Structure 1
């Protein structure tokens, strides 16, 4: 699906007088990410400590079906590197939380980044299919909704550069010190991500 169909939809979602400057279909990069949003009464909040982390890593290696957040983060860090940082409730933490699938996740949605003359927008498309027709793509674009936004002033920097073997990773840094990375598939052009970075920084 081209970004143009998302551009048309976003022009309907923004505020009156707000201009869409750049749009990119992307996904949050794999790797160790910012801390999750605070959750009251979470059973994992009391299971900290080095022993819990080691146990979690061993469980992850023995069976990928067993999930333990501290172990997951360490395995992600070793395999993929760091994809973001930030305290619970930071901009990067809230952004990634906005794209976290709600269990049970039975559909796939595209993540769309957009920059306007006022805000950074994070959007979710309608449900998409692995093998989709043009009509399916148009339907998904038409159902796109804004799931998170931040004023332009909350973004400290944005740049596209190399990370390990990927030359097209967008890193968005926020004024609260948190950051999050985004990627496109290796076979796709990195131009939309570079346009997002340019629109955010004015470079």
Structure 2
């Protein structure tokens, strides 16, 4: 039902004559991500040096409320692995930055992937409620907006497969050599992600 509502919202966002082929609610996979684009503002100073980095890792493990960038990266790599690669400013770099919540993030919003006959779109819904009614869900879907897009020709490959204990991880590879992974919660089906991959690859 959620996908149907998002598909309807997307028909009003795409260009006239552009056809929506696949829609999936997903999230950027946890793990080490590509660096931010060069012009992106720095939200926190980076930690350097073995002692500071080690302390950052320790504090990240003790309390998730305490964040050190270098510690975050090490914990992410150990716990989740690599969720994307690419140079600053690459497709994967700009995509992950475009979807990052702007601090202070006080609301939850869905990430929606969509493939049209000409583009790959990354969208964000309106604010989501923990205990939502049908009207709340429809309102969130109606407030969906596109935050990133690229021509389908920039996608080199897309596939859904296993990553550690997760059998439903979509990896999108771009022609600039960068890539980014997306997942859905374990309880949700992987079919929408497979439809995204099929639409991107024409299979």
Could you say what secondary structure the match of 2:45 adopts? helix
Counterpart of 2:87?
A: 87
Q: Which runs of 5+ in 2 are unaligned?
A: none
Instruction: Kindly state the Cα deviation for residue 48 of structure 1 after the two structures are TM-superposed.
Output: 3.6
Q: Closer, same or farther in 2 for the Cα pair 1:187/1:42, shift >3 Å?
A: closer
Counterpart of 1:69?
A: 69
State the alpha-carbon separation in 2 of the partners of residues 77 and 54 from structure 1.
Answer: 14
State the alpha-carbon separation in 1 of the partners of residues 187 and 150 from structure 2.
Answer: 30
State the alpha-carbon separation in 1 of the partners of residues 30 and 43 from structure 2.
Answer: 24
Counterpart of 1:44?
A: 45
Counterpart of 2:133?
A: 133
Instruction: Kindly state the Cα deviation for residue 50 of structure 1 after the two structures are TM-superposed.
Output: 4.6
Instruction: Kindly state the Cα deviation for residue 42 of structure 1 after the two structures are TM-superposed.
Output: 6.8
State the alpha-carbon separation in 1 of the partners of residues 42 and 18 from structure 2.
Answer: 40
Q: Closer, same or farther in 2 for the Cα pair 1:164/1:187, shift >3 Å?
A: same
Instruction: Kindly state the Cα deviation for residue 52 of structure 1 after the two structures are TM-superposed.
Output: 4.3
Instruction: Kindly state the Cα deviation for residue 86 of structure 1 after the two structures are TM-superposed.
Output: 1.3
CA contact (8 A) 2:44 2:69 kept: no
Cα shift readout 1:76-134 (whole Å, capped 9, x = no counterpart): 11011111111221111111111111111111100000000110000000001111111
Counterpart of 1:197?
A: 197
Counterpart of 1:14?
A: 14
Counterpart of 2:28?
A: 28
Q: TM-score, normalised by structure 2?
A: 0.93
Q: Which runs of 5+ in 1 are unaligned?
A: none
Instruction: Kindly state the Cα deviation for residue 64 of structure 1 after the two structures are TM-superposed.
Output: 2.4
State the alpha-carbon separation in 2 of the partners of residues 141 and 153 from structure 1.
Answer: 28
State the alpha-carbon separation in 2 of the partners of residues 16 and 133 from structure 1.
Answer: 32
Q: TM-score, normalised by structure 1?
A: 0.93
Number of residues of Structure 1 aligned to a counterpart in Structure 2:
202
Could you say what secondary structure the match of 1:156 adopts? strand
State the alpha-carbon separation in 2 of the partners of residues 106 and 128 from structure 1.
Answer: 11
